[in-house]
Amino acid sequence: MNRTATTPRAAAGAPMLDVIGIGFGPANIALAIAFEELTENLNVLFLEKRSGPRWQEGMLLEESDIQNHPLRDLVTPRNPRSRYSFTNFLFENDRLFEHLNLGLQFPLRIEYEQYVRWVAGLFAHQVQYDVNVSAIEPLVDTGTGLLQGYRVRDAAGREWWARSVVVAPGRTPNVPAQFVNVDNDRIVHLNDYLFALNRACDGGRQPRVAVVGGSQSAVEILLHAHGRGDCQKVVGITRNFGFRQKDTSPFSDEVYFPQFVQTFFHADQKTKDRLRAELEGTNYSSADKDVLDTLYVKLYANRILQRESLAVRNNTEVSHVSADPSGVHLTLRDTTNDRRVTESFDLVVLATGFLDIGNGPKREAYPQLLTAVAPLLELSRGHLDVSLDYRVRFADQPERAAPMYLNGLCESSHGMGDSGSFSLLALRSAAIAQSLAERLTPSTASRDQAQHADRDLVSEAVR
């Protein structure tokens, strides 16, 4: 491991902030609320790569819902009296009675997206948009070796300094191995679905669309693409016997209780693995009954009308991928008889989930954004480790070292509540905010010292 030490060069007058939050999606928006309601005097800045507040804009399908109770919002489970609740959003936007009259179990995604943007707008003074963070570099005292802060850089060469960092860029998309080396803008992860479909339909074209995966999102995309009426053919591809129904038992859904976080975190690895395998159907490779019923009826209606505009290839895996100007060509293997056929598409959407921290398939040792910090991480288990308060553990640093937190990336250590669901956002943000407040107790002396930290720090980055 080679390290190069260089003296940091902060912009003239650049402050040493208390906290920099990387990303300003729901996880860090909930954290901003927690800072306001639970802490005092912390100097906080959030950096967001998008041009403004957004949430799942590539999957804002008009008829899709959010699949969690509306009271499990950014703040209500922690503070039901907060002005930042979904209920207050409806009230302040004069839609409360109309929403209550809908009779929906779950809110529409398009409305929850408005709620997320509404709250984000109330914290605009703490956010800098159009900042594509490219590196987080450790600032280490040259004399003591103590990690004292971080320098955050973006792709435009700008930099910010902070005593702590909260990393919440969203999880890394999972791209199956057979797609990794095929560089083509007609193969997209579900995050970019709507943008890619609009491109594929541009100029009145009628694209052939494949959706790979067996998740809720896969079914929703199939229904949406077929429902537009301007796709020549829409095909779902799943390795399963068929699309499976999500486990929505209230007993299983206790994985989204704060008590389960404690149980899961303190369990040994064997127990964690067993629980995750047992509970996979609550969130992965499965879909809600309403969308499954709708898809099944659509397929049946197509049979009656002898149309081939919608199809599902079950017991099927993609064994080879290639692309040329005529399309993306998928070799599909029937796992029941090993028969192979090749089908061509104008758009392939990967509804294949996201990577988690850990070892093995669909895992990563740490987010790529932490590459420069990696030499300091506790990696004895092959991947980074975190505390119950979501604080990243370092290998050879004392407790007083500058803290770093993962917000929304800790499913492998904290359980299903960290799987991207809103269910525990409010409580997780409280744990992070309170932990930071304890570790960054502000004082005039410490602030003066931090402002002039460039005299004593070096940046250690892996080259």
| CA–CA gap between residue 345 and residue 210 (Å, rounded) | 7
Contact 283, 246 (CB under 8 A): yes
The pLDDT confidence band at residue 444, using thresholds 50, 70 and 90, is very low
Type and span of the H or E element at 360: none
pLDDT for the residue 292: 96
For the chain, which residues make up each domain, given as ranges? Answer: 3-172+355-462, 177-246+283-350, 252-282
| Beta pairing, strands 233-237 & 310-313 | parallel
Q: Would you place residue 39 in the very low, low, confident or very high pLDDT band (cuts 50, 70, 90)?
A: very high
pLDDT tens for 175-205 read: 999 999 998 999 999 999 999 999 999 999 9
Q: What is the mean pLDDT of residues 228-250?
A: 94
Q: Using one digit for the tens of pLDDT, what is the confidence trace for 298-356?
A: 999 999 999 999 999 999 999 999 999 999 999 999 999 999 999 999 999 999 999 99
325: exposed, middle or buried (C-beta count within 10 Å: 0-12, 13-18, 19+)? exposed
- Give me the chain's average pLDDT, please: 90
What is the average per-residue pLDDT within 426-440?
A: 96
- pLDDT for position 300: 96
**What is the fold, at CATH topology level, of the domain defined by 3-172+355-462?**
FAD/NAD(P)-binding domain (3.50.50)
Please provide residue 343's backbone torsions phi and psi, each rounded to the nearest 5 degrees.
-125, 150
pLDDT at residue 459 above 70?
no
Task: Single out the residue of 161, 163, 165 nearest to residue 18, CA to CA.
Answer: 163
Q: What is the pLDDT of residue 460?
A: 44
Q: Residue 442: what pLDDT?
A: 55
Asked if pLDDT for residue 75 goes beyond 50, the answer is yes
177-246+283-350: CATH topology: FAD/NAD(P)-binding domain (3.50.50)
CA distance linking residue 429 with residue 427, whole number of Å: 5
What pLDDT does 103 receive? Answer: 84
Element housing 157 (H / E): none
Nearest Cα neighbor of 344 from 218, 199, 207 is 207
Within 10 A of 228 (CB to CB), how many other CB atoms are there?
12
pTM: 0.90
**Integer Cα distance of 364 and 371 in angstroms:** 12
Give the mean model confidence (pLDDT) for residues 353-378: 94
- 177-246+283-350 and 3-172+355-462 share a CATH fold: yes
3-state SS, residue 135? strand
Using CA atoms, how far residue 152 sits from 46, 258, 349, 405, 461, in Å, is: 11, 32, 33, 14, 12
Reported as a pLDDT band with limits 50, 70 and 90, residue 2 is very low
Query: CA dihedral in degrees (445, 451, 455, 459; nearest 10)?
Result: 120
386 DSSP 8-state letter = B
pLDDT of residue 13: 55
Tell me which residue of 347, 368, 365 sits closest to 356, measured CA to CA: 365
The pLDDT of residue 3: 35
Within its chain, how far is the Cα of 190 from the centroid?
12
Q: How far is CA 415 from the centre of its chain?
A: 15
Q: How confident is the model at residue 280 (pLDDT cuts 50, 70, 90)?
A: confident
